[in-house]
Amino acid sequence: MREQSPQGKQRHVEPQPRDATHWARYVKTLEGTAGPNVEGRRVVGPLQGFGKMWQKTYRVRLEGASAPPAEVVEAWRARFPELSGFGEKGFRVPAGGLVPGAVALLGGLSGVMVLYSDEESFTYMTPEGHPFSGWITFSAHTDEDATTVAQAHLLIRANDPLYEFMMPLGLHRLEDRTWQRTLRNVAAHFGAASEVETRIVCVDPKRQWRCYKNIRHNALILSALHVITTPLRWIKRRHQVSGTSTILKP
């Protein structure tokens, strides 16, 4: 495609691919989120994490429901806090909704960025400090017998050594229960009551020891430190206020 520039010269313009509006734009760090452990952080994929790489797929067939995949994904995206069980406080959707590039905050602990969103799927990517480094894709498709299938698909590693240590101690189970519950809720929303099928595969059993330093962003550690140092900040603030009032007292 060629386009006329203001100077009258023709320049080559690449045609926009069909997926152009589905992807988030590149940002070096997440800004303007006002979220602790999110603001100023970089997003991370499964290649940047520390632990073993896991592919987890949770799937439910919406037997008896007539909703096509696009309708399922639209409802899932619009009611994500409710259907995931996180609630409005546990998953704070930004004002513009879950559009590509938007950042949703997970309680006061971390957040996720919408990496990709189209009619039949949407994907979250995690920031540094989140328990997992990777992507989670929610999608729906039609099976061979024309039944709509809803699916959550994760490609993740534990972000740092502490989270990796916690994986067999309950973090794996917590993750599985969260997305199994979400899919049950999606099925119930469309009046279907089917079993959730779970497939877990260790894609890469190697730990990436070069990424051990990711622990400096660990949201759990930083949040705990924040709570512990609250009295110190309170004292400092009191000191600053009394200092200011002394100055104002001529």
Under DSSP, the state recorded for 192 is -
Token pair of 27, please? 């940002």
Q: Quick one: which of 33, 84, 121, 214 contacts another protein (CB under 8 A)?
A: 121
Main-chain dihedrals φ then ψ at residue 210, nearest 5 degrees: -65, -15
Q: How far is the CB of 46 from another protein (least distance, A)?
A: 6
Q: Quick one: which of 43, 60, 62, 183 contacts another protein (CB under 8 A)?
A: 43
Q: How far is the CB of 43 from another protein (least distance, A)?
A: 7
Taking CB under 8 A as the binding criterion, the range among 42-50, 59-67, 217-225, 235-243 that sits at the site for another protein is 42-50
**Number of residues forming the site for another protein (CB under 8 A):** 39
List beta partners, residue 56.
154, 200
Q: How far is the CB of 224 from another protein (least distance, A)?
A: 28
According to the binding rule CB under 8 A, does residue 209 interact with another protein?
A: no
The CA distance from 154 to 152, in Å, is 7
Are 218 and 160 in contact, with CB atoms under 8 Å apart?
Answer: yes
Nearer to another protein, 39 or 197 (CB): 197
Taking CB under 8 A as the binding criterion, the range among 32-40, 61-69, 131-139, 187-195 that sits at the site for another protein is 131-139
According to the binding rule CB under 8 A, does residue 46 interact with another protein?
A: yes
Could you tell me where the beta strands, DSSP code E, fall in 108-240? 110-118, 121-127, 132-142, 148-158, 196-204
The CA distance from 96 to 233, in Å, is 34
Q: How far is the CB of 223 from another protein (least distance, A)?
A: 25
Token pair of 44, please? 């991370």
Report how many helices (DSSP H) and strands (DSSP E) the chain contains, helices first: 7, 10
> How many other CB atoms are there within 10 angstroms of residue 92's CB atom?
18
Q: Which 134-193 positions form the footprint of another protein (CB under 8 A)?
A: 135, 137, 139, 143-144, 153, 155
List beta partners, residue 12.
2
Which H or E element spans position 181? helix 172-189
Q: Quick one: which of 38, 44, 186, 187 contacts another protein (CB under 8 A)?
A: 44
Nearer to another protein, 128 or 175 (CB): 128
Token pair of 117, please? 């969103």
According to the binding rule CB under 8 A, does residue 98 interact with another protein?
A: no
Q: Quick one: which of 29, 47, 177, 237 contacts another protein (CB under 8 A)?
A: 47
Token pair of 58, please? 């949770």
Where does this chain bind another protein (CB under 8 A)? 14, 16-20, 22-27, 43-48, 53, 55, 115-116, 118, 121, 123, 125, 135, 137, 139, 143-144, 153, 155, 199, 201-205
